[in-house]
Structure 1
């Protein structure tokens, strides 16, 4: 029998797994269902390091947001934000700079419902239910919130989601619309799975996700770097997750097992 909990929107098919809830499970969250956990276990067979990768990706998000805050950014657009867990963008940014404003964007019903619940009393943050690959609709919705002033720098975040964008949706074109909507001094933080680091494991992940609602499309280093066209990459460039500005200056993980490249760029 499909699960039905008080926080689950009535229109949700809990028997259909989603990538957002799979990621929630890998991070140790509680907003996932049996179908998500079953898919996640197959994911873990293909990539035994998946829980560590999920944690490293979340840690990159934190470091990227703090870097942007240090650079003076006070407004953030989090694309494909997923199910909120510990260390949400608004928590990180507002702790460092209380005036920070955040708009989350996701199309997954549970992610949006839970985000709305968390943000109910936060007038500096909002969530939109939109598909990030329709940037014009997203930007129109963002403008309606009144939270983002596009005449000031914006931190655009797309962390751990672009591997779900198929080639036919023109990933570079999608990024370009967001890039053109923000002023110089804005930033793009992006991470996505690659086959460059662990090709066999990545092939297994692609096979697991192929028939799910969220098939995956890993990209090579050059393809990921090309998504930053129009941005100047912040040092150290596009690198495996744990190598992007580790907080203590030391990396205790095997970078080649990170599975994901990450980078941050500044629009000039």
Structure 2
């Protein structure tokens, strides 16, 4: 939901309504389709429209001209909506380069989810505070740092712009405990605040070495030849390199010796 200019979501861990994290992506409420600019029906074109339609010159020397299409938009919730023209950045039709322009969009839609998951998306970086050593029974702040990424690829001869946005994080703390999927990436703490509880921190109950791992879920949108940004079905999961953290225990002892008076006293520096 949205209040003013700020988005709010329900925290899946606590059930509370909280401000949405950075890079939060909500579902697009619209649906889109493309029609030939001068199309009357599936089998006929408006001849009066043809002389004034947008020209789609070949993109390569010796290549074929493209076909101008007009993108339409309507609310996704309506089963039989009234479609209106989608306004692009240049407020005009865009071009498709295929012998069957009406089919190429369906073919791209059929494979875009697979192509998205095979993109070289950079996973989130993983950080622990303190690190590489932390203390048993204390809060260890573990957080992710992921960024939105953009890709320009060619699919079936069309220029496709893809935006990948991190939306969820799953932490495995290496001791059998995990967190997520959660929309919260966490964040760094100043050293003076290390040991404080955060949304993504963890308390180790045993000493030893543990491998922390992180999987980031990305959601994507794609546009074809400058058309509208359409949601990519499903998501992609990308794993970060694991990080080792060594959990130590702390021991507090009191000594009566004054190390200035007796430098060899028990507990003084350099004394076994």
Answer yes or no: same fold by TM over 0.5: no
- Larger % of strand: which? 2
Q: Over alpha carbons, which structure has the higher Rg?
A: 2
Using structure 1 for the length normalisation, give the TM-score. 0.17
Using structure 2 for the length normalisation, give the TM-score. 0.17
